[in-house]
Amino acid sequence: MNQTDLKTGATKGDIEEAIAQITNAAVKALENVATKEDIKQLENKLEGKIDKIDAKTTDILRRVIDLEHDTPTQQEMHELKKFVGFSSKTS
């Protein structure tokens, strides 16, 4: 702000416009803030997904250990490939 700006001063309209801009900026900023409830819901959602991934990983590891100690049948190999996402064309 230079010397000329200080001499002319702000009108009531200028002040109201500045307040409106500040208020709008504050409201927009608050829209992006997560509440504790939002965070808890996301945490619960992720916990369920993590549990499923953990169960699948455990099952895959169990199957791999089985493969290390026993020769799998063609059907067992097909099921394992299907389980881990290989298409049936790769078997």
pTM listed for this prediction: 0.37
d(CA 80, CA 91): 10
Q: Give the tens place of pLDDT for each residue, 14-36.
A: 888 989 999 888 888 877 777 88
Domain positions in the chain are 1-33, 35-91
Convert the pLDDT of each residue in 47-57 to its tens digit: 888 888 888 88
Average pLDDT of 58-70?
78
Structure tokens belonging to residue 80: 């394992």
Please, are residues 72 and 66 in contact by the beta-carbon 8 Å criterion?
yes
pLDDT of 69 > 70? The answer is: yes
